[in-house]
Chain A
């Protein structure tokens, strides 16, 4: 069949670079011989150039980009609020301790401005430890015994909710104190994130204070902002300091988690 008959189709596909190599070669050879088709392709090329040039659009205004960023922020906040409701749904049913923890959660709320209060240097350093991707020295179920053998005779904090798993630990030091970093994985739906607890030995009164002090029973938790990462500190009667941090949580969400750990119950029994 003649290429001339299909020149409309061919010219278009040719100029849009949609012909396969062989078809293109065939057409290009034909254009060398056929003045009419050559003229047609040139005219089409001119039309296409006119259209494409006319259609060049302005870039998005900066104000629009700012508006989009703000809309995404709102969307994120809305999503976080929905997730928080999920947390509470977990905590509410269950054993007596969980119910007790839930009762505490109901009355303990972080003031919004608390997040702007900077953490002290020891807490800051403890939180920095969590973002360093160092290998764990022990993993999984043997973490508890390992901790007692290599660090101090303490139990790793446990969370009674499903989906919060201790995955490992390593020794470290924080501001000259011996310390152990425990890593937990928290799963909510399809999402997973890391929660770390840094246990710091030999903490004196006030060394982990600061931020917003929150009384839970007889114990005082401190809610800090460590360079944008919410952190909660607590010192037990033996001078063992605990720093909890989770990059993906709001201070309130982290507080809810910490309060629901067995740490609080243990601390109250330990008196």
Chain B
């Protein structure tokens, strides 16, 4: 109640201005508009509760993205798994209980929802679906949010080298999938990839730097 108005104003000025960016990240992480909205709202509420612990002169966007990423990994994924289990159970129930099938099916699938889900499950979302979570997170933080390797390393709590190799492989897989979809739907005439896929390649900037130093001696 006390500094409430000030806290709210400060939060709006520093944090809520990033709502669009956070939604962009959430949208690509969850691959679904509905879940993205929930994730952004949960994350911002959490950020508001912990606003006192935000160090005022650090990068607010990176701090918020860390909350979004952690919330996504910790809660959303778990929720999603349990929902899938629930959905499967409901489907089974529907199948065995003939009378109720019609009603419950229409409950869960309103026309708007069907439309919404269809419109967001585009090629990009399909391509992202096939990426391992860690790869997708690294790619989203770098290529949707423009964070540096170091910032991503801090958020994902891994060394910069790990970030680079996740990013490298994630991008390769994504680019290949996007080309495949584009090819299938006739957007591009031929496949321009001549370079080999990156699974066996080693991405290591530190080793390069160490060798380079060695070479200069």
Contact = CB atoms under 8 A, between A and B. Distances in A.
Contact of A75 (B48, B149, B214): B48
Contacts of A12: 164, 167-168, 203
A46 interface: yes
Contact of A8 (B24, B25, B139, B168): B168
A79 B50 CA distance: 13
Given A61-B37, A248-B4, A13 B205 contact: yes
B171 A48 contact: yes
Interface residues of B, number: 60
Contact of B4 (A57, A79, A192): A79
B155 interface: no
Interface in A50-78: 50-52, 54-61, 64-65, 67-68, 71-72, 75-76
A209 B78 CA distance: 58
Contacts of A192: 2-3
A24 interface: no
Interface stretch (B56-64, B89-97, B101-109, B190-198): B190-198
A60 B40 contact: yes
A40 B198 CA distance: 13
B19 A76 contact: no
Nearest to A70: B41
Interface in B1-47: 1-5, 8, 11, 16, 19-20, 22-25, 27-28, 33, 37, 40-41, 44-45
Contacts of B11: 72
Interface string A39-50: 010011011101
A80 B1 contact: yes
B156 interface: no
Nearest to A64: B37
Given A1-B212, A12-B203, A248-B3, A57 B171 contact: no
Interface in A15-59: 16, 18, 23, 40, 43-44, 46-48, 50-52, 54-59
Given A9-B208, A12-B164, A61-B37, A51 B194 contact: no
A51 B143 contact: yes
A8 B202 CA distance: 8
Contacts of A79: 1, 4
**Interface range on chain A (Cβ under 8 Å from partner):** 35 or more
B82 interface: no
B148 interface: yes
Interface string B163-174: 010011001101
Contacts of A51: 139, 143, 171, 174-175, 178
Contacts of A57: 23-25, 27-28, 144
Contact of A50 (B49, B178, B208): B178
Contacts of B192: 43, 46
A8 to B, nearest CB: 5
A60 B21 CA distance: 8
B132 interface: no
B195 A40 contact: yes
A8 B199 CA distance: 12
Contact of B5 (A55, A64, A65, A248): A248
Contact of B2 (A60, A65, A75, A188): A188
Nearest to A63: B37
A186 B2 contact: yes
A253 interface: yes
B175 A50 contact: yes
A75 B47 CA distance: 12
B140 interface: yes
B217 interface: no
A209 B106 CA distance: 59
Contact of A83 (B1, B148, B193, B198): B1
A55 B143 contact: yes
Given A9-B208, A71-B45, A47 B1 contact: no
B65 interface: no
Contacts of B204: 9
Interface of A: 1, 6, 8-10, 12-13, 16, 18, 23, 40, 43-44, 46-48, 50-52, 54-61, 64-65, 67-68, 71-72, 75-76, 79-80, 83-84, 186, 188, 190-193, 247-250, 253
5 contacts: A8-B203, A9-B164, A48-B143, A55-B144, A56-B24
